[in-house]
């Protein structure tokens, strides 16, 4: 499969609740706003911050 990397692909912030759980409602709202703005793709899980601290289960939940 050939992937054509082009367009706008923002890295979206991972949202958390006050008790440090994934805030899936806010994550979805953020992603929907990005899609509504016409982005071509979304980068999940953070690349400079939370990527190294998310558990495998949290990463799986985000991508599902």
Helix (H, G, I), strand (E, B) or coil at 58: helix
Q: Taking the model in full, what pTM does it have?
A: 0.77
How confident is the prediction along the chain (64 residues), in pLDDT tens digits per residue?
888 889 999 988 889 999 999 999 999 999 999 999 999 998 888 666 777 888 999 989 988 8
Would you give the DSSP letter of residue 13? P
Domain that holds residue 58: 1-64
Question: Of all helices (H) and strands (E), which one includes residue 27?
Answer: helix 24-36
Number of folded domains in the chain?
Answer: 1
């Amino acid at each position: 499969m050939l992937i054509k990397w082009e367009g706008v692909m923002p890295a979206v912030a991972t949202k958390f609740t006050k008790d440090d759980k994934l805030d899936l409602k806010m994550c979805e709202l953020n992603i929907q706003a990005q899609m509504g703005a016409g982005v071509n793709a979304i980068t999940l899980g953070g690349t400079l911050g939370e990527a190294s601290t998310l558990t495998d289960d949290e990463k799986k939940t985000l991508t599902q």
